[in-house]
Structure 1
């Protein structure tokens, strides 16, 4: 199936992919951590969003089981970045591009 997308959205997708690739490279070269704590995830992305993404299965929750009464919870940074982009890409588009996307996405009777 071929789907036409607006030029503005295409540029945003390419920019997102470039940034995600750079972040992955920094993680692979140990310049940046692959995981962030639950507290940091809630601060950066919002507690409601993170909870919604975990329930939907978009983001996986990792528990650190070290025998303590309260185990730490952490999330993969790349999963969080991808989920945030998927949920917010329409907000950053111009009104014309939003109208084009609604026309593409809406079901044809």
Structure 2
């Protein structure tokens, strides 16, 4: 994957996460505020002040996530973003992280990313 391809895909991932967190069913379940600066998406949980940071790492061609549960790296395998340690899928793992930190069960999906 070229750097340009990666940047396009990474931008779609960050935009997709942001859009998912604005869905009415998620807004009703978890009070989060998203802010994005370039390749960094910050998800802040209003009630607790805790955060999840999702950012792209172009040199590594990876998406990185920092949450209370730890730091994770995801690489695109042509179909999905897989954790470089345990092969878990980015959106499934991120749903669990958001559910844990937000205190409500939510699910975000890749939606074409």
**Bigger radius of gyration, 1 or 2?**
1
**Higher strand residue share:** 2
Task: Give the structure-2-normalised TM-score.
Answer: 0.30
Relative contact order higher in (CA < 8 Å, ≥ 6 apart): 1
